[in-house]
Structure 1
Amino acid sequence: MNPRPSSALEKALAEAERLLGPERVVRADARSSELLGPNTSMFRSRRLAAVLRPERAEQVGPLVALFDRDADSAGLHAISTGRNWGLGSFQPAQDDSVVLDLGGLDRVRSFDLAAGWAVIEPGVTQGELSQLLADTPRMLNVTVSAAATSVLGNALDRGVGLRGQRTEDLAGLEVVLPDGESVRVGWWPDEHRSAPVYPHGLGPSLLPLFTQSNLGVVTAAVIRLPVRPEALRVVRLAFARPALGEAVTAIRRWVAQGLTRGVPRIFDPLAGGAYGGGQDEFLAHLPVDGTAEAVEALTGLLVAEARRSGLFTRVSSGADDTSAGAEPAELVDLIERGYAGDPDLADRLFEAKMGVPADQLDTRAGFVFFLPLLPLTGEALTEADRLIRQAVETTGARAAATSHLLGPDLVDCVVAIKFPREQAAAERAHRLLDLLHESFAAAGFAPYRLDIEHTGWRDAFAGDPGALALTRRLKAVLDPRQAIAPGRYH
């Protein structure tokens, strides 16, 4: 049962109904823990006070201000499309929050293909924006998640696309502060003057304050749009587990010397199954792009070096590759189109990996994420593979790991833990998640994103206690009544 709402909360919700209309304010009742439905991770459903659904960005400032008047009026947990799958979906970190659902803010306000930017709201999905950019010189840095996921929500939580970390795509943010004031930080288009896209400005840069942040509510962003390559191909390599360290060392050299661009990926045997991998082999995808002549030359160099190394059991390139063991042309086409900015609007690869359509993930599938950062060395990836297998053997759950190579020194490791949607399997998966947090922390590998059950781990990985204290001083100054996202990256 919900506790009786405070008078401050009742007053704020009543005013929210006058501002939005009663149909856009969903109040809690005895079943409020399921007010937004189940979540795919089967984390405990938080007790909610209400859900607010504004339809225009201009409504957000007055809404936020309502909850800044009194500390007893509950904190606001903002979501974009609510598809923060594997980390809690739409769930807040703490009980008794009011969910601020920004999915109705779904406009692409403006874009400039020559300068390479678009101004978008939180409800804009990667499928929608990529369709708008189809057949243009610009593209979107897409992820391998579903087409209906939010571009902005993922970027603000430092998600990773196939062209790089999406935080780097953010050039400017429109942010509502706890008192309701709307400010724009970073770079923003100005019809009265022309200036190159440069997010840092003069003086202290404020934009990074609002990524993985509970200092404000973002209502729009300037997203950078990369130039679409003239040609693109993905070289695919397979290798056995004993060769992992040497294979990673070779691939790191190719990344460092510019033979592959974008975000190369390495899949462990379980993760590689959806991409045509064999039962006991790792896969690597190395994207090559540029002019047609450059792609032809670089592909030839990579293929020659891979074969000469003797490390790889399969080396293939291009959808027309007919060599033994090459993946089906349709699969290769989907892989290459993703690197070229097409998020697969039909979600064929996503559904093949998850086993259910995207719109049924929260109700039919079990899924959690563990997301550590690793140095790009053969030793580090070999140790990570050992730790994952050890935790799997201990718990009996299953985990599939994909390494995203963010340059020659850094790996974003995505460990996906899928499980049947029943309680015993969920408990095993959650235990596996706990063990991975513990064992990777002991090895010095910190996570770069946290699920709603592990928000307290931020303290453990603070590089400098003084820096952590500074962020909390900023929170106390900007949001003394904890109006926004209490408990989330606190």
Structure 2
Amino acid sequence: MTTSETSAASQTSAESHTGDAQTSADPQTTGAAAALAAAEEIVGADRVTRGGPGDNTGLFRQRDTAATVAPRTAEQAQRVVKAFAAAGGEVSLHAYSTGRNWGLGSRESATDNVVALDLSGLDAIRDIDVAAGWAVVEPGVTQGHLAGLLADTERMVNVTVSTAHSSVLGNALDRGVGLRHQRVEDLVGLEVVLPDGELVHVGWWPEGDRKTPVYPHTLGPSLVQLFVQSNLGVVTGATIRLLARPEALRVVRLNYTPENLGPATALLRRWVAQGLASGVPKFYNPTAARGYGSAPGQFLAHVPVDGTAASVAALSAIIADEAVKSGVFTEVSTTDATDPDAPHHEVTSLVERSYLGDPDVSDRVFEQKMGMRADQLDTDLGFLFFLPLLPFTAEAVVTAERLLGQVHAETGVLAGGTGNVLGDDLVDLVVAMKFDRADAQAAHRALDRLYELFAEQGFLPYRLDVDHHEWIDRVGGRPSARAFARRLKDSLDPTGVIAPGRYL
């Protein structure tokens, strides 16, 4: 997989967002046909299907995809890449893991004229050392699978609040956010097939004959990050850091009204800056908060506290005491998860378990928020994501909520906003829009406006959907850095074997 479970693409106008599939291409040139024939020999004809990867919940334009190839092993994936490298750029490979990059394109590629490389069949946990805190996983390993293996141990995986059946590696390579920190921080080593088919290992990799400290950078340039949000290679495995499981954890649940958004944000930042909170505290606007049982019109914050039992009791009591005395909050609770009679007992219990590394294999919270099972999203739901970064200030958070209101007024599309607090000064804002599939054009107009309005404020996206990949040149750093990145791409992949248009 190049960096995530999907990639970025080119169309931006609302008129292109119909979701109508184009007729899938059939390679006409000798090199492309030979590469596809070679892929069938490598993986078996039953693992090659003509046409693209199917529907996507965002109703982005379906790309012109000749076929989907599904290897079972990293060795097969390497041989497939070599076969397409021999085609000299007549057709490119677009790789994805489990394909659940919902709202950003699912399994769609950045450009047309591709063959999809479905890596979900690479689903082995090759090695694991719980005591040392690492596991070697393949792209098809889900967070539910890895978390289940760690149950009742002193280690846990940094899970997200998405479905338990999403890829650990795919999400990390696109800088997804877990409940402990950004998942890219969990990548300590990568196995990568380069565009010419060479297999390399970068960063830290286990050595069978000796124990070395888990450290991702090695001596010299740190190469792991070259393959995060890039198309410089196909990642077929990774060493993932396993986190120490806290002895105790509690989530303080806080509700507040829109007029107190600024003061509540200031208090939350103070608690984070002073070390009272742990992991990734989260706050939700009223649309998003409804998925966690909040009353209409109410904002919600989840403030996790972990450590020893004594420290958790003390710190959560301090936060609750300050929250009550502030007069900012309509509801303050530290016992929702432990009190069976609490109004939000079930959902808060599941939230606490997620912070402790349990991704809720039954997907109860996920289905409550989405209104359906995970396997229904791409065919039955309209759903889009926009993912900007904000300064963690009251002014920025209030401004962001105002912009969501402006987009609602202009387009009629109501967006949920979830703030993931990544530190004293940074918030990842997850803007989610559910829509009727018949209203796709309005939803995509809203998405276009979100890009425009947030960029004007300096709130830039840290992940891109498949119809806004050209924004990489508008918000992706200084021109000299972009030019340098493209020089790397041209050097490693001069004929565009791997995912042209994917961030590079």
Q: What is residue 359 of structure 1 aligned with on the other side?
A: 375
Q: How does 1:399-438 map to 2 (within 5 A)?
A: 399-422=415-438, 425-438=439-452
Q: 1:344 aligns with which of 354, 357, 360?
A: 360
Tell me the CA shift for residue 236 of structure 1: 0.6
Q: 2:74 aligns with which of 39, 51, 57?
A: 57
Q: The residue matched to 2:239 in structure 1 has which SS?
A: strand
Q: How does 1:246-265 map to 2 (within 5 A)?
A: 246-265=263-282
Deviating more after overlay: 315-324 vs 38-47: 315-324
Q: The residue matched to 2:278 in structure 1 has which SS?
A: coil
Tell me the CA shift for residue 123 of structure 1: 0.2
Q: What is residue 111 of structure 1 aligned with on the other side?
A: 128
Distance change >3 Å, CA 141–CA 4, structure 1 → 2: closer
Q: What is residue 409 of structure 2 aligned with on the other side?
A: 393
Does the alignment pair 1:136 with 2:153? yes
Q: 1:88 aligns with which of 96, 101, 105?
A: 105
Any conservation in 2 of the 1:318–1:332 contact (CA below 8 Å)?
Answer: no
Name the CA distance, whole Å, in 1 between partners of 2:163 and 2:337: 26
Q: What is residue 329 of structure 1 aligned with on the other side?
A: 345
Q: What is residue 49 of structure 2 aligned with on the other side?
A: 26
CA RMSD of the aligned region, Å? 1.3
- Runs of 4+ deviating beyond 4 Å: 320-324
Q: What is residue 328 of structure 2 aligned with on the other side?
A: 311
Does the alignment pair 1:289 with 2:306? yes
Name the CA distance, whole Å, in 2 between partners of 1:65 and 1:254: 52
- CA displacement, residues 242-274 of structure 1 (integer Å, 9 cap, x when unaligned): 111111111101001110000000000010001
Q: What is residue 453 of structure 1 aligned with on the other side?
A: 467
Tell me the CA shift for residue 36 of structure 1: 2.2
The amino acid that maps onto 1:170 is L
Tell me the CA shift for residue 321 of structure 1: 6.5
Q: How does 1:41-190 map to 2 (within 5 A)?
A: 41-190=58-207
Q: The residue matched to 1:111 in structure 2 has which SS?
A: strand
Tell me the CA shift for residue 16 of structure 1: 1.1
Distance change >3 Å, CA 380–CA 320, structure 1 → 2: closer
Q: How does 1:459-478 map to 2 (within 5 A)?
A: 459-478=473-492
Tell me the CA shift for residue 319 of structure 1: 3.1
Unaligned runs of 5+ in 2: 1-22
Q: How does 1:179-328 map to 2 (within 5 A)?
A: 179-319=196-336, 327-328=343-344
TM-score by length of 1: 0.96
Q: The residue matched to 2:358 in structure 1 has which SS?
A: coil
Q: The residue matched to 2:437 in structure 1 has which SS?
A: coil
Distance change >3 Å, CA 141–CA 105, structure 1 → 2: same
Any conservation in 2 of the 1:173–1:221 contact (CA below 8 Å)?
Answer: yes
Tell me the CA shift for residue 15 of structure 1: 1.1
Name the CA distance, whole Å, in 2 between partners of 1:126 and 1:416: 21
Name the CA distance, whole Å, in 2 between partners of 1:319 and 1:349: 15
The amino acid that maps onto 2:156 is M
Tell me the CA shift for residue 481 of structure 1: 0.7
Any conservation in 2 of the 1:398–1:429 contact (CA below 8 Å)?
Answer: no
Any conservation in 1 of the 2:26–2:66 contact (CA below 8 Å)?
Answer: no
- CA displacement, residues 356-394 of structure 1 (integer Å, 9 cap, x when unaligned): 100111011110000000000000000000011101110
Distance change >3 Å, CA 204–CA 221, structure 1 → 2: same
Q: What is residue 388 of structure 2 aligned with on the other side?
A: 372
Q: The residue matched to 1:71 in structure 2 has which SS?
A: coil
Any conservation in 1 of the 2:27–2:66 contact (CA below 8 Å)?
Answer: no
Q: The residue matched to 1:73 in structure 2 has which SS?
A: coil
The amino acid that maps onto 1:336 is E
Any conservation in 1 of the 2:57–2:379 contact (CA below 8 Å)?
Answer: yes
Distance change >3 Å, CA 322–CA 128, structure 1 → 2: closer
Distance change >3 Å, CA 144–CA 20, structure 1 → 2: same
Any conservation in 2 of the 1:142–1:162 contact (CA below 8 Å)?
Answer: yes
Name the CA distance, whole Å, in 1 between partners of 2:299 and 2:321: 19
TM-score by length of 2: 0.94
Unaligned runs of 5+ in 1: none
The amino acid that maps onto 1:110 is D
Q: How many residues align?
A: 481
- CA displacement, residues 66-123 of structure 1 (integer Å, 9 cap, x when unaligned): 1112334311000000111000000101111110000000000011111101000000
Identity in percent: 57
